[in-house]
Amino acid sequence: MDEQQEHDDAVGTTDDGGFAALGLRPDLLAALEALGYEEPTPIQRETIPHLLAGKDLLGQAATGTGKTAAFALPALELVPGSRGDKPVALVLVPTRELAMQVSEAFFRYGKDMGAKCVPVYGGQPIYRQLQALDRGVNIVVGTPGRVIDHIGRGSLPLDAIRMLVLDEADEMLDMGFADDIESILEAIPHAHQTVLFSATMPPRINSIAKRYQTDPVKINVVRGDTKASAGKVRQMAYVVPRSHKPAALGRVLDIEAPGGALVFCRTRTEVDQLTETMNARGYRAEALHGGMDQAQRDRVMNRLRDGTAELLVATDVAARGLDVDTLTHVVNYDVPSAPESYVHRIGRVGRAGREGVAITLAEPREQRLLQNIERLTKQPIKIEKVPSVADLRAAQLEQTVNSIRESLGADDLEEYYPVLHALRGEADPRTIALAVVRLYHEAAGNTVDETEIPEYTARPERKFDRNDEKRVRDSGGAPSAGTAFLYVGLGRKAGIRPNDLVGSIANESGLTGREIGPIRITETYSVVGVPEGRVEHVIHAMKDVIIRGKNGSVRRYVDNGPQSGEKRAYEKKSYGDKKPYGDKKPYGKKTY
């Protein structure tokens, strides 16, 4: 693929029919249309035709690239005409959260065709899953330990499986699922497709690929070789969970006070929702739709130029060809699925030597995508703290100071003397001045949304060949020097298993599975190792998190030394009789 083609693919400027050209069934196309997906992401474009052709595939891609749909859509194509109600596709994922997320994606894409998908993960009562599997199912998404469990019980028949997907394979290995994965691979002896996605490609993944895949197509959406320039643009990112994004966007815009901002969303549905939300929050936002004719587009653009609108919300497709020189800010409401489209988007500002600002809102799990972009542009994206309520107040007061300072130089001040005269004797000049400032400040529209936006700090810099690092849990030795311990006020009595802890901490804090551990679970509480530099962040992120239906307090754990009674109890009782749903290896070891 030449460079121009690659760029075109990434930003979708080639008019190739979008999803329809990939050969998907009409009911899947209709589902994607309804979800507002306008065109495939690069990984979908590259992967789907091969999977539809029955090939094995080895893909290097991170979360946020659209990889779920890349395997889910071809898997759904296998459902119609399958024999009976036995599963035709099995997807293995590292965590309960991902199992639910992936199975929701299957549900959204496949509901018109009546596809049935069941997630199976440790931590949920097995009989509920047994019932669901028994009712008939087309696709199973599960964590390896629980999948093995079901295979052993005969509740998950494998004889109709035509596609096996290993999603986030490196994370699964990091969590000690290697043996379980191999047993599952061995348990499907007949011919089937094996699809493997991983953010990194350590040697162990390659060796699994060698042994269990036949002539796999190799796809890598992390390309670092395309020349690109982000020009004279100040680039920054904020790490915020999805639910806080509208508040965070508002806060950032209030501080940045853009002359005009173009906000990019992934889907048309998101464009409409965000436009509505921002209008409800008092911003003048307009949606730009791909389907608008030129006159309508011009009207919207004029409203941006003359300041009637401050925000233009659009998808990549809708913003094609858009050229507004009053734009000062580009906002990526999500990290774009391809680094090339980031470059293309932010090229809308900073033109002709003017300064531009590019703001990206990333979810904790999407930080890796930011690194891909930095590698492509060879420019840093600074991770900033979302301004707090106090920061915003301070910025607004400074604005008021500036306005009043300007007003001090006005030559018609005397005209207002009668007001001051009338108030004479009622209050001292200081009180009068403060009252006037207050009036002005409020009249200038300085309101503050008081929502607390949780603070996520940047993930520590990590080398890309992260597998070189020796893993605490792999080595089975002492925790590394940089490990701090969290106390989580839930233990075995609350049904807590290691995966519950790893899954919830990874999801809430953005740490990867491999950064979490060692883990020890006692009757009433658990202790989890996390990187020292991240401990406060994790405590904050875990504040209101419910694990297995319960909210346990999370704080820094202070150990009483190696022979504390708790630790001995752990060593004696912990996993003696019961296997903690499959992820037995690393956790079963007495890691410290």
**Between 41 and 328, whose beta carbon lies closer to ligand AMP?**
41
- Which DSSP string do the residues of 404-431 spell out, in sequence order? HHHHHT-TTGGGGHHHHHHHTTTS-HHH
Give me the residue whose beta carbon is nearest to ligand AMP: 68
Contact 330, 314 (CB under 8 A): no
Question: From the CB of 267, what's the least distance to ligand AMP, in Å?
Answer: 5
CB of 499 to ligand AMP, least distance (A): 20
Segment 431-470, which members bind ligand AMP (CB under 6 A)? none
Shortest spacing between CB 46 and ligand AMP, in angstroms: 13
Shortest Cβ 69–ligand AMP spacing (Å): 5
Pick from 589, 578, 592: nearest CA to 145: 578
Q: Are 193 and 54 in contact (CB under 8 A)?
A: yes
Amino acid at 137: V
Closer to ligand AMP by Cβ: residue 11 or 133: 11
Task: Name residue, tokens 């893909």.
Answer: 59
Closer CB to ligand AMP, residue 376 or residue 484?
376
Residue 40, preceding peptide bond in cis (omega within 30° of 0): no
Q: Work out how close the CB of 270 gets to ligand AMP at its nearest, in angstroms, rounded to a whole number.
A: 8
- Among positions 258-277, residues that touch ligand AMP (CB under 6 A) are 266-267
Contact 148, 183 (CB under 8 A): yes
Give how many residues touch ligand AMP by CB under 6 A.
13
Site for ligand AMP in 4-63 (CB under 6 A): 37, 40-41, 44, 63
Buried b (16+ CB within 10 A) or exposed e, 332-354: bbbbbbbbbbbbbbbbbbbeeee
Pairing of the two strands 356-362 and 329-332 = parallel
| Closest distance of CB 312 from ligand AMP, Å | 18
Our CB check for ligand AMP shows the closer of 71 and 592 to be: 71
447: closest CA among 392, 493, 494? 392
Interaction mask 64-103, ligand AMP, x per CB under 6 A: xxxxxx----------------------------------
Site of tokens 């490196």: 170
Chain centroid to Cα 219, Å, comes to 21
Residue closer to ligand AMP (CB basis): 45 or 520: 45
Helix axis angle, 245-256 relative to 389-408, nearest 10°? 20
In angstroms, the CA 72 to CA 282 distance is 39
* DSSP collapsed to 3 states, 76-120: HHCCCCCCCCCCCEEEECCCHHHHHHHHHHHHHHHCCCCCCEEEE
Measured between alpha carbons, how far is 58 from 382 in angstroms, rounded to an integer?
32
Token readout for 460 is: 């520590």
DSSP code, position 247? H
Residue 141 — φ and ψ, nearest 5°?
-120, 120
Identity of the residue, 149 or 363, whose beta carbon is nearer to ligand AMP in the bound complex = 363
Which residue, 68 or 194, is less far from ligand AMP as judged by CB?
A: 68
Cβ 273 to ligand AMP shortest distance, Å: 13
Of residues 109 and 456, the one with the C-beta less far from ligand AMP? 109
**Mask: binding to ligand AMP, 166-205, rule CB under 6 A, as x and -?**
----------------------------------------
Radius of gyration of the chain (CA): 27
**Shortest approach of ligand AMP to residue 38 CB, angstroms?**
6
Cβ at position 65, least distance to ligand AMP in Å: 5
Positions in 524-553 near ligand AMP (CB under 6 A): none
- Whose Cβ is closer to ligand AMP: residue 363's or residue 500's? 363
Are the C-beta atoms of 37 and 43 separated by less than 8 Å?
no
Distance in Å, CB of 266 to ligand AMP, minimum: 4
Under rule CB under 6 A, residue 332 binds ligand AMP: no
Query: Which is closer to ligand AMP, CB of 67 or CB of 146?
Result: 67
Instruction: Give the residue with the Cβ less far from ligand AMP, 66 or 144.
Output: 66
Minimum CB distance to ligand AMP, residue 472 (Å): 27
Q: Are 552 and 494 in contact (CB under 8 A)?
A: yes
Residues that bind ligand AMP (CB under 6 A): 37, 40-41, 44, 63-69, 266-267
